[in-house]
Structure 1
Amino acid sequence: MFLRKWEPEMIDWKITPFSECIVRHEVKRQNQINNSEIQAVGRFPVIDQGQSFIAGYTNDEERVIYNGLPYIIFGDHTRCFKFVDFPFVLGADGTKVLKPDEARFDSKFFYFALINQKIPSRGYNRHFKLLKESSVPHPADTWEQKKIASLLTLVQRAIEQQERLIALTTELKKALMHKLFTDGRRGEKQKQTEIGPVPESWKVIPLGSLLKMAQYGLSVKGSAAGSYPMLRMTNQINGQIVPNDLKWVEISEADFNKFSVKRGDVLFNRTNSYDLVGRTAIFDLDGEYAFASYLIRLRVDHDMLDSFFLNHYLNCDETQQRLKSIATRAVSQSNISATRLKSFMIPLPSLEEQDEVISTLNIVDKKIAEHKQFAYALQCLFQTLLHQLMTAQIRVKDLDLTELGYEPIATG
């Protein structure tokens, strides 16, 4: 059993056992749909316990829930809460439908109060029992609940806007990459090649002829301590090497010199699932790092090829599909050997035009990074406000949030 701590500022708040917070509803088994029946497109959204807000769609109108909205959907296995205020069909696996008592709760406030419960994880076991044992702090005045909910909704919508901008800009980058690697930057006529159309002045040559080195990494198991951090395929994120969740290795200085990475090295994921094999990231960090055996370190001849151009090209969607076509497939993993990779054909413009392509894509990357940074700041703000508003450490009436576009709900 877990209870929220009673705060001294909560003198005009109540703490209500969860069982007294909810009322019966009319959602029945006939409103549910099995996972196998969910479609990618359709008339009616399906809400399940998964991380994605909408699991898919269905055209079966007989299962649609129209009455009694809004509802809160709880994922019994996932601990996800979803606020649903539109007609929907319920996913069958592990979903609990909650209807707050509107005599005590504003529905949106109750949703945020549940998010703040921080139910401890029991793995993929069921968690509703823990939720039933909880208690929910809330202002006695539902008008204050509405104010809290409207403020948190404002921040939540700002986060969603940034996430949409990230998705939109990411799609823009994909389209831009396709255009840059087929049309170039200078309006040249195209020529047809074995890898598709490219500008007439570009060459198409094997990657290996542009490399000084293509080397496999260390076959040493990492641990929590050691002389050097070791980069793994999990450190490849959106084309960049990110030093998160590092493992360490104890190796000699001679071995480190052999298996170290330098700024501008490209790390290629040679062994992974079919979907992820061929994933590529560039090393652009300070510090000393080794790299693991499932990666190939590509060190380019800078007289002919810019490693940042190579990294962008290898991460292009069309290139990723071509890379998968040369992978050796097994039951659970696929592999692209260094030999095959060196024979992989790539386009080669002049170094000057390579730099132009890099600069163009860097502008888009900078915009994506700005949106991500703002989204992260908003998420931190949301979590802080959620905790402090739900424990009365701060009160809505004490905040001046007009610059965020927040307008308090009138109480008179």
Structure 2
Amino acid sequence: MSDYNLLIDPLPAGWKNHLFGDVCDRVKDSYQPVDGGDTPYVGLEHLAQGFPAFVGRGTESDIKSSKTAFKAGDILFGKLRPYLRKGARADFDGVCSTDILAFRARAGCEATFLHFLIHCDEFIDHAKSTTSGVQHPRTSWPSLKEFRLTLPPLPEQKKIAHILSTVQRAIEAQERIIQTTTELKKALMHKLLTEGLRNEPQKQTEIGPMPESWEVVELGSLAKVGNGSTPKRANEAYWEGGTIPWLNSTKIHDRFITEADQFVTPQAVKECHLPRVAPNSLLIAITGQGKTLGNSAITRIETCINQHLAYAQFHAAKIVPVFVLWFMQTRYDNLRAIAHGGGSTKGALTCGFLKTLPIPVPSRAEQEEIATTFQTLEDKQHFAVRRQAGLQNLFRTLLHQLMTAKTRVHELGFSV
């Protein structure tokens, strides 16, 4: 038997010890998909990771083999790699993957309470400890039904579920703000970087339509372009006690870089000929894994960089660096396609290519206005991200505190 449990000692008044199999049943109803059918289908990819929510759904026309049929109110839990914490309460009838277990709450157990219970650390730890298979670890109903827990009385379950649901809705509201702001920013980028702000007639250029007064200039004529390197790690004189910021390509995702995680010594700068990149320079990831390649950022500090980053240190007074940053966001897919398919080096960009990269140049005043518009949206998005992170921390804290009776609903202003 697993050592992980959610038993409370001493027992709060009205709370009782149970096995998980005492409070819910596994749904075993089988369903054979019909060609062209429209019954909702839930696969593991449709369950949010680490949060009790859905992130989409398919239809039975997407699948062929027999699946599990569930009803609205049932709880779906991903048994494959349970450490991913995939589980949510369905508010619709449908069918689900065989890598998902469906639970149906018994009398005396509130379904929404159960939907939060399966996200408790103790339940997840129990599930992880009962998996089998190395490449595809799965838990099972016979193992999960033996999980031991202390269950509050039904009225308190409902109050706990209500509190956690309120926080969950607030988290989801912030996610909608983030998504809406992202979509608005993308639409505005296309509009403002092709039409500008002055309602001017447009002209066709090598990078698409733009206002007649705008120029198209190669990046190399606006800035010094180069890349960095990595001093030998084995040479302690290059790293030990270093005070000069040094960036690798992972920092590109910060968008506006205000600090470094690593530092090199003056000796490393001198002997390895590291460029000192000035503040307000553009950094571009010229190689990288995942989403790194093709991304850009502005450094707000003087820094050195590694060989996976290029820099554009602007010397033209007519350029607003942040405007170029926002333009580079629109070239992300194009840069990745060039790097992987038609650039000078397979799977990478080169400084030679970047020097020839065409950049739109409106008046400095218009650049500043456009940059300010995007920055306002960026600030709004960052505020929503921070607020969402705070709410997620609150959710995790309340989930633990309420499920273990360390905090009671009446202490939060709810009467039972």
Q: Distance in 2 between matches of 1:71 and 1:170?
A: 31
Select between 341-350 and 69-78 the one with higher mean Cα deviation.
69-78
Q: Distance in 2 between matches of 1:15 and 1:242?
A: 52
- Alignment-derived partner of residue 199 in structure 1: 211
Q: Distance in 2 between matches of 1:86 and 1:234?
A: 41
**Following TM superposition, by how much is the alpha carbon of 1:219 offset from its aligned partner in structure 2, in angstroms?**
6.1
Is contact 2:229-2:305 (8 Å) kept?
yes
Is contact 1:116-1:387 (8 Å) kept?
yes
Report the AA paired with residue 76 of structure 1: L
Aligned residues between the structures? 387
Alignment equivalent of 2:308, drawn from 272, 287, 294: 294
- Alignment-derived partner of residue 91 in structure 1: 97
The answer to whether structure 1 residue 128 and structure 2 residue 144 are counterparts is no
**Following TM superposition, by how much is the alpha carbon of 1:153 offset from its aligned partner in structure 2, in angstroms?**
0.5
TM-score by length of 1: 0.81
Report the AA paired with residue 97 of structure 1: A
Q: Distance in 1 between matches of 2:177 and 2:150?
A: 35
Report the AA paired with residue 128 of structure 1: T
3-state SS, counterpart of residue 298 of structure 1 = strand
Show the 5 A alignment for 1:34-113. Answer: 44-48=40-44, 52=48, 53-54=54-55, 56-60=57-61, 65=69, 67=71, 69-77=73-81, 78-92=84-98, 94-100=99-105, 102-113=106-117
Report the AA paired with residue 109 of structure 2: F
Q: Which runs of 5 or more structure 1 residues have no equivalent in the other structure? A: 401-407
- Alignment-derived partner of residue 6 in structure 1: 8
Is contact 2:29-2:68 (8 Å) kept?
no
3-state SS, counterpart of residue 384 of structure 1 = helix
Show the 5 A alignment for 1:210-221. Answer: 210-218=222-230, 220=232
Q: Distance in 2 between matches of 1:11 and 1:311?
A: 60
The answer to whether structure 1 residue 388 and structure 2 residue 401 are counterparts is yes
Is contact 1:44-1:88 (8 Å) kept?
yes
The answer to whether structure 1 residue 26 and structure 2 residue 28 are counterparts is yes
Is contact 1:15-1:135 (8 Å) kept?
yes
What's the CA shift string for 1:41-84, capped at 9, x where partnerless?
Answer: x7624232665434541254996835464223234213322222
Report the AA paired with residue 102 of structure 2: V
3-state SS, counterpart of residue 10 of structure 1 = coil
Is contact 2:160-2:402 (8 Å) kept?
yes
Q: Distance in 1 between matches of 2:298 and 2:61?
A: 48
- Alignment-derived partner of residue 342 in structure 1: 355
Show the 5 A alignment for 1:11-410. Answer: 11-28=13-30, 30=32, 44-48=40-44, 52=48, 53-54=54-55, 56-60=57-61, 65=69, 67=71, 69-77=73-81, 78-92=84-98, 94-100=99-105, 102-118=106-122, 119-120=124-125, 125-128=136-139, 131-132=144-145, 134-139=147-152, 141-218=153-230, 220=232, 226=240, 227=242, 230-237=246-253, 239-241=255-257, 246=261, 252-254=268-270, 258-272=274-288, 276-284=292-300, 289-316=303-330, 319-329=331-341, 334-400=347-413
Q: CA RMSD in A?
A: 3.5
Structure 1's 124 and 306: CA in aligned 2 closer, same or farther, altered over 3 A?
A: farther
Structure 1's 243 and 88: CA in aligned 2 closer, same or farther, altered over 3 A?
A: farther
Q: Distance in 2 between matches of 1:355 and 1:315?
A: 16
Q: Which runs of 5 or more structure 2 residues have no equivalent in the other structure? A: 49-53
Q: Distance in 1 between matches of 2:39 and 2:102?
A: 21
3-state SS, counterpart of residue 115 of structure 1 = coil
Structure 1's 283 and 29: CA in aligned 2 closer, same or farther, altered over 3 A?
A: farther
Q: Distance in 2 between matches of 1:391 and 1:22?
A: 19
Is contact 2:15-2:151 (8 Å) kept?
yes
TM-score by length of 2: 0.81
- Alignment-derived partner of residue 403 in structure 1: none
Give identity over the alignment, percent.
30
Structure 1's 83 and 315: CA in aligned 2 closer, same or farther, altered over 3 A?
A: same
**Following TM superposition, by how much is the alpha carbon of 1:242 offset from its aligned partner in structure 2, in angstroms?**
7.5
Report the AA paired with residue 335 of structure 2: L
- Alignment-derived partner of residue 51 in structure 2: none
**Following TM superposition, by how much is the alpha carbon of 1:177 offset from its aligned partner in structure 2, in angstroms?**
0.8
Structure 1's 378 and 186: CA in aligned 2 closer, same or farther, altered over 3 A?
A: same
Q: Distance in 2 between matches of 1:128 and 1:84?
A: 21
Report the AA paired with residue 117 of structure 2: A
